[in-house]
């Protein structure tokens, strides 16, 4: 089973977890939220996360999900990457996290494809309802 590590600006990750628990009825296993505060020291956060990663990796790898590419959480996550073992996706949205929770038992690269697809197809313009022709 693939571990999922959410690394986001405070308090976004906890809100995502609340939503996932609401949708699924419980939180999936091997899912940890790690919040980055405005005062965070990136080097200390990297060291903390390096101690968390082994608890999430049961041999199948870890997928890190961050909120915004180029921001502190994503920059911190980029220092943790190990090709094929610890991977990261950014631009986290609820469809991505839901897919990650649903595909934890797939191989890591297949899970990444599902998560990316869920995130992309979950974004679209909702059409306005047809105008009524009533008098």
pLDDT tens digits, 68-117 = 999 999 999 999 999 999 999 999 999 999 999 999 999 999 999 999 99
Q: Are 121 and 105 a contacting pair, CB within 8 Å?
A: no
Per-residue confidence (pLDDT) for residue 133, from 0 to 100: 72
Q: Are 29 and 1 a contacting pair, CB within 8 Å?
A: yes
pLDDT of 53 over the 60 cut: yes
Alpha-helical (H) ranges within 25-93 are 42-56, 72-78
Please tell me the class of the 3-121 domain: alpha beta
């Amino acid at each position: 089973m693939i571990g999922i590590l959410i690394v986001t600006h405070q308090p976004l990750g906890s809100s995502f977890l609340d939503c996932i628990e609401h949708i699924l009825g419980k939180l999936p296993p091997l899912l940890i939220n790690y919040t980055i505060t405005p005062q965070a020291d990136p080097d200390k956060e990297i060291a903390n996360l390096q101690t968390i990663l082994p608890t999430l990796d049961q041999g199948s790898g870890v997928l890190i999900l961050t909120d915004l590419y180029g921001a502190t959480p994503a920059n911190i996550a980029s220092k943790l990457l190990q090709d094929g073992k610890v991977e990261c996706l950014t631009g986290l949205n609820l469809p991505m996290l839901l897919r990650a929770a649903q595909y934890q038992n797939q191989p890591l690269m297949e899970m990444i494809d599902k998560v990316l697809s869920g995130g992309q197809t979950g974004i679209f313009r909702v059409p306005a309802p047809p105008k009524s022709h009533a008098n």
